[in-house]
Structure 1
């Protein structure tokens, strides 16, 4: 198995493990999806592709807007996430939507077929973002729109702290939000894939988290299905215990009476082919 295939398999497993609780873990994912769909004026009859559809948060909202004459196709790595999406679509009696298990980085669909392509909360997780963007570009009709989001390089406090405390141990954790970490960097990615009329806006989805909840985030590497945490498996048990103490200590150092501020600055990009 190639590293790329292994990454995709691990990513699918990670999200499958979260499929039942994904929509209710917090209000973050539904709010982010709702905001992305709001940025595009979908019209009845349009053809829509939702990349990394997950539990169908974006796809279902889009299907309700394009109506019975339109169609929405949702693709995802995770079959368990797709099962949740299908259950929700069935409950709403939506007949203009389909979900498929697929490699979202190498989509095999007719060129210039879709009016709009969405990708919510997943671009930064892909193994080859430039290749994926170019693939999606070919699927859009001329004048069609891509709506995609990413995150600031300073987003998600637990991840930021873990990166800092792991570095002295020689562990280099992937800075998965780096490619979209600034509006300029995000713009360059999209322009290189051929997109035009690129507009990027920022919105804060963060808030304060309790110190107790952040400490619960700690898990042993063997219990971490997230592929981005795999380098921690190289550490010994003694090192992991020390790493945990340092992780907790840094969180305590930045805690306030309100809790620990968890920045989630999301950048939303709307662009055209």
Structure 2
């Protein structure tokens, strides 16, 4: 899959997801609130919210920095931005929303090097094809003393999704996220230090939720994941190829069995590695 095709696929997924995103529930509302707490915004600050989606962080951030501050939200999903703009307009808040690829921000009028106090990217970092290059580019946009904050899921979060990613890597099946590339605090910190940022404030979040997954039927788990409809229909479409599906399913089952206890259960925790990089 070419980069442009991959980006178009991601855009289509989030355009489909946009109308119901705010009512999906899950951990995203709590995570957005945590982001705003961790960002510790002050009046007058300049904020860049990448993959801003429907504005769950962007709009409250604009309220916190006030009229003396500046907030720019960037997202590849035009439909998500329509919702975000509507939220800002209803509150009478000024936010510059930009429909663009967050990995390539050069030349955008609203975004200049050395101009942001805080850069955030919530629940979207694993969608980047070249995360190291993106972080280096974002680091240039920070002021000295500015902070970049983004997250990646831990391996024991959304376990079936994680295992599909593992299998996809082994069989060279295209996935729209790269969870296995950043599966430890060490790897996440390396991205920050390679971009010239201080990584010392990086941490693992508390668990947003915890549940015991019944893994006695891993084949059924596989079919459920790859056969989903709606906005997620194209997320795992590569696993539906008749020439690849049987082996992919077999490998998925073996990986799930490795993780399950003697009762066929897997403890799943919703945690994220919070990358916090400061420009010194």
Q: Pick from 250, 261, 269 the counterpart of residue 263 of structure 1.
A: 269
Contact 2:71 2:95 in 1 (8 A): yes
| Offset of residue 98 of structure 1 | 2.1
Task: Give structure 2 stretches of 5+ with no counterpart.
Answer: 215-220
When structure 1 is superposed on structure 2, of 153-162 and 66-75 the one drifting more is 153-162
| Offset of residue 51 of structure 1 | 0.5
Task: Give structure 1 stretches of 5+ with no counterpart.
Answer: none
Contact 2:193 2:199 in 1 (8 A): no
What's the Cα RMSD here?
A: 3.5
Partner of 1:111: 113
Q: How does 1:22-171 map to 2 (within 5 A)?
A: 22-91=21-90, 93-107=91-105, 108=108, 109-163=111-165, 170=171
Matches of 1:237 and 1:118, distance apart in 2: 37
Matches of 1:121 and 1:224, distance apart in 2: 19
1:219 paired with 2:221, answer no
When structure 1 is superposed on structure 2, of 183-192 and 94-103 the one drifting more is 94-103
Contact 1:70 1:96 in 2 (8 A): no
Partner of 1:19: 18
Partner of 1:179: 181
1:205 paired with 2:208, answer yes
Alignment CA distance shift 1:51-1:165 (3 Å): closer
Matches of 1:187 and 1:165, distance apart in 2: 25
| Offset of residue 119 of structure 1 | 0.7
1:232 paired with 2:244, answer no
Matches of 2:261 and 2:58, distance apart in 1: 38
Alignment CA distance shift 1:184-1:260 (3 Å): closer
| Offset of residue 159 of structure 1 | 1.0
Contact 1:171 1:231 in 2 (8 A): no
Secondary structure of residue in 2 paired with 1:57 = coil
Alignment CA distance shift 1:100-1:10 (3 Å): same
Matches of 1:14 and 1:62, distance apart in 2: 26
Matches of 1:266 and 1:238, distance apart in 2: 30
TM-score by length of 2: 0.80
Contact 1:48 1:71 in 2 (8 A): yes
Alignment CA distance shift 1:131-1:171 (3 Å): closer
Residue correspondences, number: 266
Matches of 1:81 and 1:256, distance apart in 2: 44
